A and B are shown apart, each in its own frame.
Chain A
């Protein structure tokens, strides 16, 4: 007696399943009659130390692909995003890139979030001749130009320029450099030393470094404090360590202002650093302070619209890295629609002919000699942290 209902239940389940299977077959046949989807590959750094970059980019990519598909897709075809997470591991990024190219057979790849991961993927892109649009910010990605590799963010040297301009404007010309020896910090340090030599208005009087994983930078900051010449401190790093630097800086009662790079410009930073981050100056992408931008800025309207979408879907405020995800997809989709096909060489050519495409972080114009990374004018602005928020400053 107890058995019978079970059997009947199983029968019902089986019938429902077979009905669903039949239905999906019908739907599948209909969909196949319409055009095949356009496959776009994406690799982001959604876990590991770089997770706050990739997680935001992944959210923006997924959201915007859904939005585009809702409006009818591109070239009358749906976009299918094949997304993987590289876990802040360059070799994994490379294997996943290989997978996207040979197994998933995507037409173009967006990614990854950090420089080493992008560079390891760039080799695969070159070998298999497939366009790659990166969301990482080192100069090395697009200089020298690789035919198949493009980048959306401004490079680290441009970002440093914004900081240097601000320092000069406020007559803080003797600075101390504090950087991480990891990839981004090291590249940015070299960029800063070079830029200071080239410009001549900022002199670096102290040059301190720390290793990735260090949990206390008081020693380096004490040495900086001990140098009477220093008028400002620049910290070049991403991830959690700049928050530690900020806490140490506050604990030591250092009076000169602290400048942080654009790589930490996300709400996570004041959250991690706590009250000690009050008054810290940061180069920020416009999206982070979009409501404070003057109405004349072309990024403002689009940025506000995008912010609403992100807020509705994920219940959080977007920052610059959401913006890079948005813009990378925008530039890619724009190129596919101008190319009129998903032929890889055609898409690559179309990417090179990108002219004045307005995204939420910048406008993009590429050429055969400029694959991104450099803009005529930097879009980054200086902001100060007040009440845990980013406030634009002069």
Chain B
């Protein structure tokens, strides 16, 4: 961004000068990620390590979707665990109570989450800053309360079990197969997000971070763009919620609670807002950290919090953008 752009507060996306940027979100990024995903099985030894890899993959896709909303469009959502829960519970209820094929359940639940996001998006996204945070928080809470109290449908606080996913007449039981499935989904999400960001909609989104009047003056339909990206991120989140529920075989309202929403936002912020590889890195860290910290039993929350604070203080832009920036500086 040129100094003149900064001086007049030119939104990033509409800026004339792009400036040097590590283009990990482009084709190269997809290839790099594909290579990592292909090589990773040589490092994974136990079923548990595959389990963690699958969980990171699921969270990474959600973080990529949420990053479009939070990182690129600059709109906060503290209710995304609610969409995750719609996907998870929709899949669970449709498949275990109504006998639907699980994957159809995932698709229908994701569509339902999209419809909900589209319906509430317009009024909610008129709000800004803290008010938007409160509104999305409220949305998440409502979904959480519904799930924990409608016991006849959701099983309430005791949770709900799901049938095993079967593909081509085979039960998908092994973590290795799940690794393959999630790896493909992650690659697709990564590639699509990269394309979206560099499309006209993507540029419109990035402009939303700045003054809205300026975006509107540049011909961006502010309200429609926000609703569109809110819906997209809700669909992605709900879809992966459904996949995650099928993988886990069990869900409880805990997956819909406030802390889960915070964790999702944390992945985006920690990894780096507006950076697709950042979302993947953030998901990996937030998913792995609690497991690594079981070694310091009872001090876990303390050290977890400390690490997060340190990262935010030392790398306010998030892990990947900061490291990329340092790499560039050391090169030049």
* Chain A residues engaging chain B, CB cutoff 8 angstroms: 46-47, 83-85, 89-92, 94-96, 98-99, 101-103, 115-116, 119-120, 123, 127, 140, 181-183, 186-187, 211-212
A91 pairs with B158, CB closer than 8 A: no
Ordered by A's residue number, 16 sampled pairs between the chains whose C-beta atoms are within 8 Å are: A47-B298, A89-B254, A91-B255, A92-B290, A94-B250, A95-B51, A98-B47, A99-B48, A103-B46, A103-B48, A119-B158, A120-B250, A181-B148, A181-B156, A183-B157, A211-B149
Contact B252 A90 (CB under 8 A): yes
- How many B residues touch A, CB cutoff 8 Å? 29
On whether the beta carbons of B248 and A94 are closer than 8 Å, the reply is yes
A319 to B: closest C-beta gap in Å: 20
How far is the CB of B167 from the nearest CB of chain A, in Å? Answer: 18
The contact of B252 among A103, A116, A211, by CB within 8 Å, is A116
Q: A83-B297, A103-B49 are in contact. List 20 more A-B contacts (CB 8 A).
A: A90-B159, A90-B250, A90-B252, A92-B290, A99-B51, A101-B47, A115-B158, A116-B157, A116-B158, A116-B159, A116-B252, A119-B250, A120-B159, A120-B252, A123-B249, A127-B249, A182-B148, A183-B156, A186-B157, A212-B157
- Which B residues are in CB contact (< 8 Å) with A101? 47-48
Please indicate the chain B residues that have their CB under 8 angstroms from the CB of A123 in the complex: 161, 249-250
Question: Which B residues are in CB contact (< 8 Å) with A89?
Answer: 254
Which chain A residues border B151 with CB–CB below 8 Å?
A: 186
Contacts of B330 in A (CB 8 A): none
Pair count A-B, CB < 8 A: 76
Contacts of A92 in B (CB 8 A): 290
Q: Which of A84, A101, A182, A183 has the most CB of B within 10 A?
A: A183
Q: Let me know if B173 is at the binding interface, CB within 8 A.
A: yes
Chain B residues within an 8 Å CB radius of A84? 294, 297
Contact partner of B55 among A83, A85, A95, CB < 8 A? Answer: A95
Q: Which residue of A lies closest to B51 (CB)?
A: A98
Report chain A residues within 8 Å CB of B294: 84-85, 96
Q: Which residues of B contact A127 (CB under 8 A)?
A: 173, 249
Q: Is the CB of B158 within 8 A of A187?
A: yes
Chain A residue at minimal CB-CB distance from B151: A186
Nearest-CB distance from A350 to chain B (Å)?
26
Q: Which chain B residues numbered 38 to 52 have a C-beta less than 8 Å away from chain A?
A: 46-49, 51
Report yes or no: A85 in contact with B158, Cβ–Cβ below 8 A. Answer: no
* Beta-carbon nearest neighbor of B156 in chain A: A186
What 1/0 mask marks residues of chain B from 232 to 260 whose CB sits below 8 Å from any chain A CB?
00000000000000001111101100000
Which B-chain residue is minimally distant from A128 (CB atoms)? Answer: B47
**Bound CA span A116–B291, Å:** 21
Which single residue of chain A is at the shortest CB-CB distance from B259?
A: A89
Q: Lowest 5 CB-CB distances: which A-B pairs, in order?
A: A102-B47, A103-B48, A183-B157, A90-B252, A102-B48
B159 A103 Cβ-Cβ under 8 A: no
CB-based nearest A residue for B257:
A89
CB-CB under 8 A from B55, the residues of chain A are: 95
Chain A residues, CB < 8 A from B248: 91, 94
A103 touches B47 (CB 8 A): yes
Q: A84-B294, A90-B254, A120-B250 are in contact. Are A181 and B48 (CB under 8 A)?
A: no
Question: For B252, B290, B291, which residue has the most chain A Cβ atoms within 10 angstroms?
Answer: B252
The residue of chain B having its C-beta at the shortest distance from the C-beta of A185 within the complex is B157
| Chain A hits for B49, CB < 8 A | 103
A215, B117: Cα distance in complex, Å: 32
Q: Mark B271-285, 1 if CB is under 8 A from A, else 0.
A: 000000000000000
Min CB–CB distance A33 → chain B (angstroms):
26
Bound: A85/B300 CA distance, A: 10
Q: Which residue of B lies closest to A190 (CB)?
A: B151
Most A Cβ at <10 Å: residue of B47, B55, B173, B301: B47
Q: Which residues of B contact A46 (CB under 8 A)?
A: 298
Q: Which residues of A are found within 8 Å of B51, using beta-carbon distances?
A: 95, 98-99, 102
For residue B249, which residue of chain A has the nearest CB?
A: A123
Inter-chain CA distance A95–B175, complex, in Å, is 13
Chain A residue nearest in CB terms to B287: A95
